[in-house]
Amino acid sequence: MAKTNKYALVTGGSRGIGREICLKLGGCGYHVLVNYKSNAAEAEKTLSGIRAAGGDGEALQFDVASGEESTAAIEAWQKAHEGACIEVVVNNAGIRDDVLMMWMEPQQWHSVIGTSLDGFYNVTRPLLKGMLVNRFGRIVNIVSLSGIKGLPGQANYAAAKGGVIAATKALAQEVAKKGVTVNAIAPGFVRTDMTADIDEAELRKQIPAGRFCEPAEVADLAMFLISEQASYITGEVISINGGLYT
């Protein structure tokens, strides 16, 4: 699926799953916009990896939880690249702040919801028009097992990811006739910075596959959904969890 002069935006692209998706997009000929909130050094590492693989891209700093920042950054990029269309968006940015609901402070609720659910709206909405006009687009939302079955201590995270799942299904029906697909990927436990604080050895016992997922495996699934071969798949939530929950 080699492409030239094609643009993709990956939110939270500086590390983990987001970085792996950026690298694979770059390897397939996309000019990759690596969104990050604050860690410029990690974003540059992602860009270096893209260029080492023969691709190219640029860093795009904004907080997806802020509608104002997201709109300003995207519109400024569009103005500077007149005629260009970001045809792929991967809404990957997300944060965890786990705590039982009875002790959850308002900020812990709103920050997690803001990054994943508001972030999906803030980033996707300003990019939709270009996709619809061009009659091609790929929207891939990285959600979570927690958004499907819920996990204790993650009422905020489950609500955020569950909201994105519902929005995925609704938006898919709005834009399918214009050649735009909208799908979600729901990983279980993935070996990234986000899971560095949990007991991997103990949790592996619960996973039929006996191991955590690697970020590159999620990225491979994302790339299939982005490809032409997946043009008839939309509104789906695909789990990748080693059999942990089916």
Closest C-alpha among 175, 174, 10, 28 to residue 89: 10
Contact 64, 93 (CB under 8 A): yes
Which residues, at least 6 apart from 176, have a Cβ–Cβ distance to it below 8 Å? 234, 235
CB 169 within 8 A of CB 234: no
The DSSP string of 86-152 is EEEEEE---------GGG--HHHHHHHHIIIIIHHHHHHHHHHHHHHHHT-EEEEEE--THHHH--T
157 as an active site residue: the answer is: yes
Contact by Cβ (8 Å): 3, 31 = no
The number of beta carbons lying within 10 Å of the beta carbon of residue 116 is: 32
Dihedral angle computed from the Cα positions of residues 190, 192, 193 and 198, in that order, rounded to the nearest 10 degrees = 40
Chain CA centroid to CA 40, Å: 18
Measured CA to CA, the distance from residue 138 to residue 8 in angstroms comes to: 9
The one catalytic residue among 7, 30, 36, 157: 157
Tell me if 49 sits within 8 A of 16, measured CB to CB.
no
Catalytic residues: 157
